[in-house]
Amino acid sequence: MSAAVRARVRAQAQNRCGYCQSSQQYVLGLLEIDHIIPKARGGTDEEANLWLACRMCNGFKGIQTHARDPVTGRRVRLFNPRRQRWSRHFLWSQEGTQIIGRTACGRATVVALQLNSVISVMVRREWVAAGWHPPAE
């Protein structure tokens, strides 16, 4: 994929992970270009299928496109950061360290991508203390 496409995706995503909302300025390493529909599942390198993801979110997502909502047990599509609004499907816990799923899609994505892993919550706690988190939408 071209450098121009990569630059446009970064700009569109405002240099934040589409899933956990981590900002490029606070994470170690570059945010990765995520294939919303993984190539292994028929996704393409077209810009409409690309967004930014941190290494942890992208790694946990892998080739998943669907997951089970822990409340209803239904298998639902994972959150699509290009087409869906983050605040419709997620919200921050009161202390700003955990992501809470508001919808079946949000809850399934929180579980599938392990958005509240011990490491993620620990790092967010430090970001909150520094006044860097949670991000404004």
Token representation of residue 126: 């430090």
Mean pLDDT across the stretch 117-136? Answer: 96
pLDDT, tens digit (0-9, with 9 covering 90-100), for 6-18: 999 999 999 999 9
Looking at every residue in the chain, the average pLDDT score rounds to: 97
CA 9 and chain centroid, separation: 14
pLDDT for position 49 = 98
pTM: 0.96
pLDDT, tens digit (0-9, with 9 covering 90-100), for 13-53: 999 999 999 999 999 999 999 999 999 999 999 999 999 99
Token representation of residue 33: 């270009």
CB atoms closer than 10 angstroms to residue 4: 9
Contact (Cβ atoms closer than 8 angstroms) between residue 64 and residue 20: no
Phi and psi of 108, rounded to 5°? -65, -40
Token representation of residue 5: 């496409």
